[in-house]
Structure formats: structure tokens, C-alpha cells
Amino acid sequence: MSTLCTRLKNVKEAGAYQLNCSMDELHEAVEEAGFAVFDADLSGACGKGEFLAALAQAIKAPDWFGHNFDALADALGDLSWCSAAGYVLLLRNSDHALEQIDDHRVATEIFAGAAAFWRSQGKAFWVFFC
């Protein structure tokens, strides 16, 4: 088992971080761990609506997804449509997706809440900004 895979499985450390390894290394570790990976390319996203649409597409959100922050929190705390040993959400090109400070703060709180929920379920939930 790779060191990165071992680290990904550490539920206590799971949360939101800046990615500090190659994408190939991460994908190998995610596969080895049996985690689901959601890859959101935010390069064209500008603002809350486009950010939420990109995340909904990446996580393959169900029809009830309402394209608001409450729906994002609900979806990230459910993921019943994608059962896995753990979860990794990649946010590519995220620098300008949420330029409103309040939107960025709310999204960060949602990611922290999802990580805490999954931690309570014994599963790791990671968000990587890359």
C-alpha cells in the first residue's frame, strides 16, 4: 500500500487541502483505496451558479439537486448514488470560481461539514484544490 493511499484512508486527516502531489499519484492512490473521485473542472466557472453547476455535474448529482448551497451540502452528505470506501473531490482551476468572499466562505464550510459527516460514518471525504 502506497504512503499516499494510507494517508487518504486516514479519516481523521480528511478535509480540504491544496493538492501537493501529481494527479497520477493521486489517481493511483484513490484507486488503490477504493475511493470514488469526483473531478470538477472550474476553469470556465465564474460565480456561484457556474460553480454549483460544475460540482453537480462532477458528483453526478441526482435530479433533486437544487443548484444552491443547501443542495450542495445535502448532496455531499448523501452520495448514496455513489457508494464507496471514501470520497475525493478535485476542484481544478478553482482560483476564480468563487470570487465573492461570502460564497467562498460558505463553500469552505460545506466542504468541512461534509468531511466531518463522513468522518462520523468512518469514511474519508477529501477536497483537493488543484
Give the pLDDT score at 2: 81
Supply the CATH classification number for the domain 3-129.
3.30.370.10
Percent of the chain whose pLDDT exceeds 90: 70
Give the pLDDT score at 22: 86
In the chain, where the domains are located: 3-129
Cell representation of residue 14: 480528511
Relative to beta strand 124-129, strand 86-92 is: parallel
pLDDT band at residue 47, thresholds of 50, 70 and 90?
confident
pTM, 2 dp: 0.92
- Residues 84-128: pLDDT tens digits? 999 999 998 877 677 766 888 899 999 999 999 999 999 999 999
CA distance 38 to 58: 5
